[in-house]
A and B are shown apart, each in its own frame.
Chain A
Amino acid sequence: MSEYQRTGVLSRGDLLQMPSEAQLEKGVAFIECVQEIPCNPCVDACPVHAISMKDINAPPYVDFDRCTTCMKCVGVCPGLAIFVIKVKGERAWVTLPYELLPVPVVGLSVEALDREGKCRGWVKVTRVVKAKKTLLVTVEVDRSLAMDVRNIRVRA
């Protein structure tokens, strides 16, 4: 039994793939979907066929080099489990799916939350894209937080 099955929180060791520094600089879709569940819309959503699955129950595999960070998979994933991560020097940009209120706008300072919902600091929203009713929100974070920030809290 993995710890995440008890807590609901993934640790680094649970993640099936890790992009290289060069791939992170280019930008990648990062999928935090480690269980065998019957679901595959991300595979169909990817216009460059960068996401593959052995069968519908297998966890997705991302070809990081092929990924263009178009974010189509982020908007379609039923588990809200796909993030886009891009780094440059000491800065990083995390795009995350957001289906709560209040709605963030570009330039707003929001709390950056990790996988346990802990606040890791205040960050700026740099982009908000609508994928039907899911908002794809990009926040600029410190490079060291690129693999930790997975949610935001918007104060009303």
Chain B
Amino acid sequence: MRIRHHPILDFTAREPLPFTFNNKPFTGEEGDTIASALHAAGVKELTISQTYHSPRGFFCGIGKCSSCLMRVNGVPNVRTCIAPLLKDILVETQKELAAPPTAPYIGPGKRMISTDVLIVGAGPAGLCAAQQAASHGAKVLLVDENPRLGGQLIKQTHKFFGSLQERAGTRGIDIATELEAEIRKYEQKGLLSIMAESTVIGAYEAAEGYRFGLVKRINYQTQLFDVRCGAAILACGAMENMLLFPGNDLPGVYGAGAVQTLMNVYGVKPGEKVLMVGAGNVGLIVSYQLLQAGIAVDRIVEAAPTIGGYHVHAAKLRRCGVPIKTSHSIKEVYGKSAVEGAVVMQLDSKWKPVPGTEEAVPCDTVCLAVGLTPSTRLLSQLGVMLEYIPEAGGFVAIHDEMMQTRIPRVFVAGDASGIEEASTAMIEGKIAGCAAAKALGYQVRAETLAVFIDEVGKLRAGPFGEKPRLAKAKIEALTREQHV
């Protein structure tokens, strides 16, 4: 299941790492997560449904859902999709729910960190926010759940759209490397600290500024940190949407992010033949990435009557012979212990199934690219005002043009502030980074912010910017309403 040859990425074999899974010997590679090593060895079943006793595989592949929890070296509930594979570890399927801990907190005593700006999430928005805040003199702590910085950028083999300022024409993976190199300079100067494999687990009351609980994972154990900061930028991204259909929990039904992560970060094939659900930009881009990794895409089904993503992405697939079926959707997935195929069907103009149009599509992977929902749990806990805005992908924090929420010095940026794409996320991050520094008394030129605001407006000006434009207009209207 390993990808060894790729037109864009380098997946030459790395140091083998032996480990044990359910009492059997396995071998992964340096750089694998536990889940990617198991997948590469053909193991897709990671957990068992406690209610239905049916097999489950992972879904999100990026530490957001809980379909991959396993016991590692005796530690229960390890998120194996983001937990690095180490030599000689013991991995076990959890037959039942792990017993809750009896001690109030297991692990070494908490440590304190104080900083000017805490940035949660080191994707395009978080990296740009960190760069801007640090360049204006603020002390920054940048936190990310994953072992590598860059968020979803590190999975993007395609060259980015947008303008030169946002590195258009450069591949996402290369943008991640460039942005990381920039912030590492501030790290060397002592202006910025980076904590990878760390999760901000909650916001707590503080006499002044803000206080967050942070958990850093070290060899499947955790270290608790008590973080005090003057401002916070929540750039925690989004979660993949699920679709309701029979069989949607069978191993082999993956979110688009999981498929990208497996094949483009870890060099592991999600399967040999894929049915893609969704012809938005994500569905189209991931389909092409599958072809690049040498994996067949049987077809793309899209419930809407038109292709939602850019025509140029669709054209690349069509000229490779991949059919795109608009007004078609998935009815069910079949298979005993993993996906063996799916049934697709045609939809009428009212999005209702047309009887007699069912068609079985044999495949071992069903990839869902049916939209994202902003991650707002930390915002919600902070008491930030959230509103349901369909064009933004769900509940989002009401924020002003400077990306500040209704709570002073708490900012949002990127998909967490409404689903969009990486170029606008980068500019939103720059705005939030500058605004946070400014709110803490660091000097930020008004023109700097004006340029960013102008750029993001231009990127949203076309027909494909209609949704975010509508979303941001609604958010702005609500901000004004609240001020009255």
Instruction: Verify A78–B159 contact, CB threshold 8 A.
Output: yes
Partner of B462, one of A36, A103, A116: A36
For B423, the closest partner residue in chain A by CB is: A38
Instruction: Verify A41–B164 contact, CB threshold 8 A.
Output: yes
B8 at the interface (CB under 8 A from A): yes
Partner of A55, one of B164, B294, B315, B458: B458
Apart from A38-B459, A115-B315, A117-B319, 19 more pairs, CB < 8 Å: A4-B311, A5-B306, A7-B326, A8-B311, A10-B311, A10-B315, A34-B311, A40-B163, A41-B164, A56-B459, A77-B169, A78-B159, A78-B168, A79-B312, A99-B7, A101-B5, A101-B6, A103-B7, A117-B321
Instruction: Verify B316–A38 contact, CB threshold 8 A.
Output: no
- B305 CB contacts on chain A under 8 angstroms: 1, 6
What are 6 A-B pairs at a CB distance below 8 A?
A5-B306, A56-B458, A100-B291, A116-B321, A117-B320, A133-B7
B26 at the interface (CB under 8 A from A): no
A131 to B76, CA, bound (A): 48
Give A2-19 as 1s and 0s: 1 = Cβ < 8 Å from B's Cβ atoms: 001111111000000000
- Minimum CB–CB distance for B463 against chain A, Å: 5
For B6, the closest partner residue in chain A by CB is: A101
Instruction: Verify A35–B311 contact, CB threshold 8 A.
Output: yes
For A73, the closest partner residue in chain B by CB is: B169
B314 at the interface (CB under 8 A from A): yes
Instruction: Verify B159–A76 contact, CB threshold 8 A.
Output: yes
A139 to B285, CA, bound (A): 26
- Which residues of chain B from 266 to 323 have a CB within 8 Å of any chain A CB? 291-292, 294, 305-307, 310-322
- Which residues of chain A from 32 to 50 have a CB within 8 Å of any chain B CB? 32-41, 44-45
A93 to B358, CA, bound (A): 43
B324 at the interface (CB under 8 A from A): yes
- Minimum CB–CB distance for B10 against chain A, Å: 10
For B460, the closest partner residue in chain A by CB is: A38
Instruction: Verify A39–B306 contact, CB threshold 8 A.
Output: no
B362 at the interface (CB under 8 A from A): no
- A114 CB contacts on chain B under 8 angstroms: 319
Instruction: Verify B319–A115 contact, CB threshold 8 A.
Output: yes
- Minimum CB–CB distance for B377 against chain A, Å: 30
